[in-house]
Amino acid sequence: MKTNPPQLPLRFFRWFCHPKLLKYIEGDLLELYEERVQEKGKQKADIKFIGDVLLLFRPGIIRPAEGYEQLNSYGMYKSYFKIGWRNLLKNKSLFAINTSGLALGIATCLLIMMFVADELSFDRFNKKADQIVRVVLKGKVNGEIIKEAVTAAPVAATLKNEFPEVLEATRLRRIGTPKITYQANTYRNSQVAFVDPNFFEVFTLPFIQGDAKTALLLPNSIVITKEEAEKYFGAEDPINKLLEFKDAKEQYKVTGVIEKVPANSHFHFDLFASMEGLAHSKEEKWLESNYFTYLVLAEGIDVNEFETKMPAIIKKYMGPQVAQLGMTFEKFKESGNEIGLFIQRLTDIHLFSDFAGTSELEPGGDMNSVYIFGAVAIFMLLIACINFMNLSTAGATKRSKEVGVKKVLGSQKNQLVHQFLIESFISTAVAMILGILIVTVSLSLFNQLSGKELEATFLLNPKVLAALLGLGIFISLLAGSYPAFFLSSIKPIAALKNKFSNGRSKGIRSTLVVFQFVISATLILAIIIVSQQMSFIQDKNIGYNRDQRIVLRESYLLGNNETAFKNQLLTDPRIESVTRSAFVPAGPTDNNMTGVWVGENKEDFRRTIIYGIDPSYIPTMGMQINTGRNFLEGSESENDKVIVNEAFIKAFSLEGNPLGQSINQRTDNNGGFSSLTIVGVIKDFHFRSLHEPIAPLMMLNNPYGGLIIKTKTAEMADLIESIQAKWQAFDVEEPFTYGLLDELYNETYLAEQNMGSILKIFGFLTILVACLGLFGLVTFTAEQRVKEIGVRKVLGADVFQIVSILSKDLLLLVAISFIIAFPLGFYLMDKWLQGFAYKIDIQWWVYIVAGLSTLLIALFTVSFKTVKAALANPVESLRSE
Candidates 8, 11, 40, 51; binder of another protein (CB under 8 A) is 51
Candidates 6, 12, 42, 61; binder of another protein (CB under 8 A) is 61
Q: Give the nearest distance from C-beta 32 to another protein in angstroms.
A: 6
Contact region with another protein (CB under 8 A), list: 25-33, 121-129, 534-542, 596-604: 25-33
φ and ψ at residue 254, rounded to 5 degrees: -75, 120
User: Is residue 19 close enough to count as binding another protein by CB under 8 A?
Assistant: no
User: Is residue 270 close enough to count as binding another protein by CB under 8 A?
Assistant: no
Nearer to another protein, 37 or 454 (CB): 37
The sign one gets for the Cα dihedral 480, 483, 485, 488 is negative
Name the CA dihedral angle for 407, 411, 414, 419, rounded to a multiple of 10 degrees: -90
User: Is residue 50 close enough to count as binding another protein by CB under 8 A?
Assistant: no
Nearest to 275 by CA among 325, 346, 344, 217: 217
Nearer to another protein, 35 or 211 (CB): 35
The radius of gyration computed from the CA coordinates of the chain, to the nearest angstrom, equals: 40
User: Is residue 41 close enough to count as binding another protein by CB under 8 A?
Assistant: no
Q: Give the nearest distance from C-beta 501 to another protein in angstroms.
A: 53
Q: What three-state secondary structure class fits 145?
A: strand
Q: Give the nearest distance from C-beta 75 to another protein in angstroms.
A: 24
Candidates 11, 14, 23, 78; binder of another protein (CB under 8 A) is 23
Nearer to another protein, 24 or 860 (CB): 24
User: Is residue 464 close enough to count as binding another protein by CB under 8 A?
Assistant: no
Is 324:310 a contact under the CB 8 Å cutoff?
no
Q: Give the nearest distance from C-beta 4 to another protein in angstroms.
A: 9
Nearer to another protein, 62 or 141 (CB): 62
Candidates 52, 228, 614, 752; binder of another protein (CB under 8 A) is 52
Candidates 8, 14, 15, 27; binder of another protein (CB under 8 A) is 27
DSSP states of 517-536 as a string? Answer: HHHHHHHHHHHHHHHHHHHH
Q: Give the nearest distance from C-beta 39 to another protein in angstroms.
A: 12
Candidates 6, 12, 16, 32; binder of another protein (CB under 8 A) is 32
Cα 87-91-93 angle, rounded to 5 deg: 145
Q: Give the nearest distance from C-beta 48 to another protein in angstroms.
A: 10
Candidates 25, 625, 833, 878; binder of another protein (CB under 8 A) is 25
Distance CA 455, CA 432 (A): 18
| Residue 605 DSSP symbol | -
Please give the distance of CA 547 from its chain centroid, rounded to a whole number.
Answer: 32
Q: Give the nearest distance from C-beta 9 to another protein in angstroms.
A: 12
User: Is residue 634 close enough to count as binding another protein by CB under 8 A?
Assistant: no
Distance CA 350, CA 540 (A): 31
Nearer to another protein, 46 or 162 (CB): 46
Contact region with another protein (CB under 8 A), list: 53-61, 223-231, 267-275, 789-797: 53-61
Cα 330-332-335 angle, rounded to 5 deg: 105
* Count of CB atoms situated within 10 Å of the CB of 864: 12
Candidates 28, 305, 798, 830; binder of another protein (CB under 8 A) is 28
Candidates 55, 71, 235, 409; binder of another protein (CB under 8 A) is 55
Distance CA 8, CA 287 (A): 102
User: Is residue 40 close enough to count as binding another protein by CB under 8 A?
Assistant: no
Q: Give the nearest distance from C-beta 31 to another protein in angstroms.
A: 5
Q: Give the nearest distance from C-beta 96 to another protein in angstroms.
A: 47
User: Is residue 21 close enough to count as binding another protein by CB under 8 A?
Assistant: yes
Q: Give the nearest distance from C-beta 58 to another protein in angstroms.
A: 6
| Strand 132-141 relative to strand 289-297, pairing | antiparallel
In the chain, what is the straight-line distance between the N-terminal and C-terminal CA atoms, in Å? 63
Letter for the amino acid at 395? G
User: Is residue 15 close enough to count as binding another protein by CB under 8 A?
Assistant: no
Size of residue set near another protein by CB under 8 A = 24
| Residue 840 DSSP symbol | P
The sign one gets for the Cα dihedral 721, 725, 730, 731 is positive
User: Is residue 409 close enough to count as binding another protein by CB under 8 A?
Assistant: no
Distance CA 48, CA 645 (A): 121
The burial class, CB within 10 Å (0-12 / 13-18 / 19+), for 715 is: exposed
φ and ψ at residue 575, rounded to 5 degrees: -105, 130
Candidates 1, 39, 43, 60; binder of another protein (CB under 8 A) is 60
Nearest to 665 by CA among 614, 590, 605, 583: 605
For binding to another protein (CB under 8 A), which residues are involved?
A: 2, 21, 23-32, 34-35, 51-52, 54-61
